[in-house]
Amino acid sequence: MKMVNLLSSLLILLTSCYSNAADAPMDSELKRIGSVLQPVLAKLEPKPEISQPSGTSTLLVTYKAQNYKIHGRSMSGEISPEAHDELGPTFKGFVLQVHLQEKGEINQAVTPQTLEGPYWKTDLDVAPLAGSQKQIYWALSYGRRTDTELLTKIRQSLRDLKDAEPTAPGKAPTPAR
């Protein structure tokens, strides 16, 4: 039952955050998160797509992603007869969503945890954003054969944001000593 609730929550997060990418400038905190991730993502081919979906405080990073037809589940466990489109990673890709929140905000999902879906796994976690009154709630979805070293570096970069001191625009934050 808890797994169904968590999957439902994640589905809502994923579908609400994935809309048309905004042409508007990215929030400064999201730029900061992007700059921390940049060294990890720089060597990937094809290049990951990084965006801030319209009307959200979310950074979306997709690498070797595709749309899937997914049958949702209700909290009672009933599987919907109607499939919906959902963005997810290919067997060697990932989809990272980093949602900016007020520090201390409580999320429905217990963190950290890993959810297992029909085609991919998703890690959920929360980390405070150093030098601000914000925290990040992130979901890293990955395929069965995604490079584990790459996933470890992404997770660590996000967790290190709790210690990273903000810097001038254009420079990557450095961990506090």
Domain borders along the chain are: 2-164
| pLDDT one-digit tens code per residue, 74-90 | 878 899 999 999 999 99
pLDDT at 108 exceeding the cut of 80: yes
Average pLDDT taken over every residue of the chain? 84
Res 77: pLDDT: 85
- CB-based contact 120:7 (threshold 8 Å): no
| pLDDT one-digit tens code per residue, 117-138 | 889 999 999 999 998 999 999 9
